[in-house]
Amino acid sequence: MRKDRRPAARIGKVLVANRGEIAIRVMRACRELGIRSIAVYSDADANAPHVESADEAQRIGPAPATESYLHIPNLLEAARVSGADAVHPGYGFLSESAAFAEAVEAAGLVWIGPPPATQRALGNKLAARRAVVDAGVPVVPGLMVPLEDGDVPDLAEIGLPAMLKAAAGGGGRGMRRIEAGNELPAALAAARREALAAFADGTVYLERLVSPARHVEVQLLGDRQGNLACLGERDCSVQRRHQKLVEESPSPAVTPAIREALYDSARRVAGTVAFDNAATVEFLLDAEGRHFFLEMNTRLQVEHGVTELVTGLDLVAWQIRIAQGERLPAEVLEPALRGNAVEVRIYAEDPWDGFRPRAGRVTTWREPAGPGIRVDAAVRPGLELTPEYDPLLGKLMVHAVDRPAMVARLRRALDETLIGGLQTDLGFHRWLVDQPGFATGEYDTDLVASVWGNGPELVSGLADLAATAAAEARAAQPPPRAKAGGDPPGSAWAARARAEALRQ
Amino acid sequence: MTPSYRVTVSDREVALPTGWELTWLDRAAGVARVARGEEAHIVVVEGSGTEWHVTIAGRRVPVTVRTRREQRLAEAEVASRQRGGPIDVRASLPGLVVALGAAEGDEVEEGHPLLTIEAMKMQNEVRAPHGGRVVHVAVAAGQTVATGALLLRLE
């Protein structure tokens, strides 16, 4: 039933309502399909890499996202002026905004993504919990209604530790861990404040904290004829601040029986709404292999590439083809999963400083190459990172015949990757590949908090090496040239000595 | 031949080891090979004069390289600061000042949250590097600051 949507039509020109590596990713799919792409850019991004990758570009406003990448009227105007007939939202920004999807369709354009009604139905985590329970999908034990100030929930029944979550949440915001009942009032106030600030909706609920747990998600593609494909799972258990850093497929923890159970639940979740296009159903997997529904993301995910590597499918191309009304063929509905793939996200943030973001200028950028390597990035030397946007520089993915080969290939690829100008999380990833828990695949969502902590001390071997490199580099520098006035080098010291002498 | 430098790595003094050789692979990009015997590493070296950064295995480490004279000058500066001169607290990253945790005249202890800077959708707390009195607040909530901008002054 797609009466609310436009009839199938060939797409000739796609407006990519995003920036950075995902905008480039979508433009690449467009080019391979013979479709023209239009970039949009804020004033901060006039020379950004994604603008170069498109056939055309439209300015959509000043640097703040609320006035550009989140500004629906400006995006629609850019689509109108450029003659686009479809819009791809990427991830983040307006990708899960039902209002934007509806505005795009109301303007007579094709929305490349799940129908706005799906987004409305599943955008609220609490509403989604209620809907999927009715469909027979296991959810994390906890409240099915909002937690109001002064409520005294039955913590014995929910189980401690527990987690406060924002109903409108995402990206780890509006979440608070509860160890004991007396922490609830203060944590509730804090979670509500954060949820209000981030989502303009302070609705909060409480559920059991499943720990140890793995974060596992099923990739879905559905056509408009009602066919639904489950394209394997991704394990996203390496997280900081409840946000993903590393994703791999298949999950080392998922057996064929668990995969069947995950697929069954994912199909049931999708069945609660009028779904087509691409989406991901996220679950927690506990130590006994039981899974619990977390949420359904009605958009392309950052980590879609690992699924592309193990299935050989181009998910973005299929998003576009589904939006054109094409039917999914057998090779998509029953894909063969080949080998193991992993992605590490390269963020401009300092793992030795609590993964805090770092702004600055990228001075050096060298990507790895060779067998089984894929880099999706939007970086070049000289690029200035502005604090307005997400600090993701790019994603390094590798694909190999099995998991040990995948880990070895990732280590090799990380050693080939060189970034200068600012601290990134590359050092964390280089540490991760040498962790016994990562090598065996036995890790969970606590890895960063419990094993990394604040990061290892700088071992003396590395300190020696850094000292040597800098000293050699200085020695190799030409001596500073004397200034026009004729001050010899070291005159600051001489001036200071004179000043000291005069004072005595 | 390396002159006799005094070197600190992450603020800790390091005796320069011997036997390492540095070969530039790409001078403009700062990419070099540092080798001794069979051991070799590819590093990224940035900087000039006394201030450097070396990135090894994805970890970017601050390194100072000083001549004996520069070292004495630096030590004199530290001594002057320790005699109780005012300390400028500056922004370590650009962003939006969203909240102030101290006002002029406040006595604060080391670690006291002075203000919050929002950058890349994250809230970053700037804490007092040591105890003292806030003698000047240079920014207001809602203001955008650049890296290195004066935030406030402690005495």
Which whole-number Å values give the CA distances from A144 to A125, A168, A184, A244, A504, in the listed order?
A: 10, 14, 17, 26, 78
Residue type, A462: L
Give pLDDT, residue B51.
95
- Contact assignment for A470 to B65 by CB distance below 8 Å: yes
Determine phi and psi for A231, rounding to 5 degrees.
-105, 55
Spatial CA neighbour of A472 closest among B131, B151, B54: B54
- List the 336-355 stretch of A: residues with Cβ below 8 A of B: 352
Residue B39 near residue A503, CB atoms below 8 Å: no
- Contact assignment for B56 to A418 by CB distance below 8 Å: no
Domains of chain A plus CATH, in order, are: 13-112 (3.40.50.20), 141-208 (3.30.1490.20), 213-452 (3.30.470.20)
**What stretches of A358-410 adopt beta strand conformation (E)?**
360-361, 364-366, 373-377, 384-385, 392-400
Give pLDDT, residue A363.
95
Per DSSP, the residues of A264-310 read: HHHHHHHHTS---EEEEEEEEEETTS-EEEEEEE-S--TTHHHHHHH
B127 CB neighbours in chain A (<8 A) are none
Spatial CA neighbour of A422 closest among A501, A351, A493: A351
Secondary structure letter of residue A495 according to DSSP: H
B119 CB neighbours in chain A (<8 A) are 357, 359, 387
How far apart, in whole angstroms, are the C-alpha atoms of residue A35 and residue A320? Answer: 10
How far apart, in whole angstroms, are the C-alpha atoms of residue A17 and residue A91? Answer: 9
Give pLDDT, residue A41.
98
Spatial CA neighbour of A315 closest among A243, A226, A229: A229
| Number of neighbours of residue A444 by Cβ within 10 angstroms | 22
Spatial CA neighbour of A381 closest among A395, A360, A396: A360
B6/chain A closest Cα distance in angstroms: 9
Which of A388, A474, A477, A493 to mutate to probe the B interface, most B CBs <10 Å?
A: A474
Query: Rg of chain B's alpha carbons, rounded to an integer?
Result: 20
How far apart, in whole angstroms, are the C-alpha atoms of residue A103 and residue A90? Answer: 16
A470 CB neighbours in chain B (<8 A) are 7, 45, 47, 52, 54, 63, 65
B63 CB neighbours in chain A (<8 A) are 466-467, 469-470
How far apart, in whole angstroms, are the C-alpha atoms of residue A315 and residue A291? Answer: 25
- Contact assignment for A467 to B41 by CB distance below 8 Å: no
How far apart, in whole angstroms, are the C-alpha atoms of residue B108 and residue A381? Answer: 41
How far apart, in whole angstroms, are the C-alpha atoms of residue A301 and residue A185? Answer: 34
B127/chain A closest Cα distance in angstroms: 14
Q: Which residues contact B79 (CB under 8 A, 6 or more apart)?
A: none
A299 is an active site residue: yes
B68/chain A closest Cα distance in angstroms: 11
Return the axis-axis angle of helices A491-503 and B68-82, rounded to nearest 10°: 50
In angstroms, how far is the first alpha carbon of chain A from the final one? Answer: 92
Greater confidence (B147 vs A349) lies with A349
A466/chain B closest Cα distance in angstroms: 6
Hey, what are A309's tokens? 């590597």
In the set A299, A345, A358, A409, the catalytic residue is A299
Residue A283 near residue A251, CB atoms below 8 Å: no
Give pLDDT, residue A5.
53
Residue A429 near residue A398, CB atoms below 8 Å: no
Give pLDDT, residue A467.
95
Which whole-number Å values give the CA distances from A467 to A430, A461, B24, B38, B96, in the listed order?
A: 21, 10, 16, 19, 36
How far apart, in whole angstroms, are the C-alpha atoms of residue A210 and residue A214? Answer: 9
Spatial CA neighbour of A27 closest among A58, A51, A45: A51
Tokens 């607040």 belong to which residue? B137
What's the angle, vertex CA A89, arms to CA A84 and CA A93, rounded to 5? 135
User: How high is the ipTM of this complex?
Assistant: 0.86
Give pLDDT, residue A498.
44
Residue B52 has its nearest CB partner, among A390, A415, A470, at: A470
Give pLDDT, residue A504.
38
Q: State the alpha helices, DSSP H only, in A326-459.
A: 330-333, 403-416, 426-432, 436-440
Residue A364 has its nearest CB partner, among B31, B72, B147, at: B31
User: Starting at the edge strand that comes first in sequence, how are the strands of the sheet with A86-88 ordered?
Assistant: A56-61, A36-42, A13-16, A86-88, A110-111
Give pLDDT, residue B110.
81
How far apart, in whole angstroms, are the C-alpha atoms of residue A312 and residue B6? Answer: 55
Q: How do the pLDDT tens digits run along chain A, 504 residues long?
A: 444 455 567 999 999 999 999 999 999 999 999 999 999 999 999 999 999 999 999 999 999 999 999 999 999 999 999 999 999 999 999 999 999 999 999 999 999 999 999 988 887 889 899 999 999 999 999 999 999 988 888 898 999 999 999 998 777 788 999 999 899 999 999 999 988 888 888 999 999 999 899 999 999 999 999 999 999 999 999 999 889 999 999 999 999 999 999 999 999 999 999 999 999 999 999 999 999 999 999 999 999 999 999 999 999 999 999 999 999 999 999 999 999 999 999 999 999 999 999 989 999 999 999 999 999 999 999 999 988 898 999 999 999 999 999 999 999 999 999 999 999 999 999 999 999 999 999 999 999 999 999 999 998 889 999 999 999 999 888 765 544 433 444 444 444 444 444 443
Residue A420 has its nearest CB partner, among B10, B12, B30, at: B30
How far apart, in whole angstroms, are the C-alpha atoms of residue B52 and residue B65? Answer: 7
3-state secondary structure A119-167: HHHHCCHHHHHHHHHHCCCCECCECCCCCCCCCCCCHHHHCCCEEEEEC
- Contact assignment for B16 to A419 by CB distance below 8 Å: no
- Contact assignment for A473 to B61 by CB distance below 8 Å: no
The answer to whether A418 faces chain B, any CB pair under 8 Å, is yes
The answer to whether A424 faces chain B, any CB pair under 8 Å, is yes
Which of A423, A472, A493, A503 to mutate to probe the B interface, most B CBs <10 Å?
A: A472
How far apart, in whole angstroms, are the C-alpha atoms of residue B120 and residue A388? Answer: 5
Which of A411, A434, A465 to mutate to probe the B interface, most B CBs <10 Å?
A: A465
Give pLDDT, residue B145.
84
B3 CB neighbours in chain A (<8 A) are 475
Which of B11, B121, B147 to mutate to probe the A interface, most A CBs <10 Å?
A: B121
Handedness of CA A208, A211, A215, A217 (dihedral sign): negative
Q: Which residues contact A487 (CB under 8 A, 6 or more apart)?
A: none
Hey, what are B83's tokens? 């005699």
A496 CB neighbours in chain B (<8 A) are 73, 76
How far apart, in whole angstroms, are the C-alpha atoms of residue B49 and residue B29? Answer: 17
Give pLDDT, residue A485.
39
- Contact assignment for B53 to A420 by CB distance below 8 Å: yes
Give pLDDT, residue A325.
96
Domains of chain B plus CATH, in order, are: 6-69 (no CATH), 87-154 (2.40.50.100)
- List the 444-503 stretch of A: residues with Cβ below 8 A of B: 458, 462-477, 480, 490, 492-493, 496
Return the axis-axis angle of helices A304-311 and A315-323, rounded to nearest 10°: 90
Mean pLDDT of B107-111: 84
Spatial CA neighbour of A234 closest among A190, A283, A271: A283
Hey, what are A368's tokens? 């790895």
Q: Which residues contact A410 (CB under 8 A, 6 or more apart)?
A: A342, A344, A396, A398, A429, A433
Which whole-number Å values give the CA distances from A303 to A269, A399, B106, in the listed order?
A: 20, 13, 48
Which whole-number Å values give the CA distances from A92 to A65, A189, A383, in the listed order?
A: 11, 26, 22
Which whole-number Å values give the CA distances from A211 to A156, A177, A240, A387, B10, in the listed order?
A: 17, 12, 15, 34, 36
A482/chain B closest Cα distance in angstroms: 14
- Contact assignment for A358 to B124 by CB distance below 8 Å: no
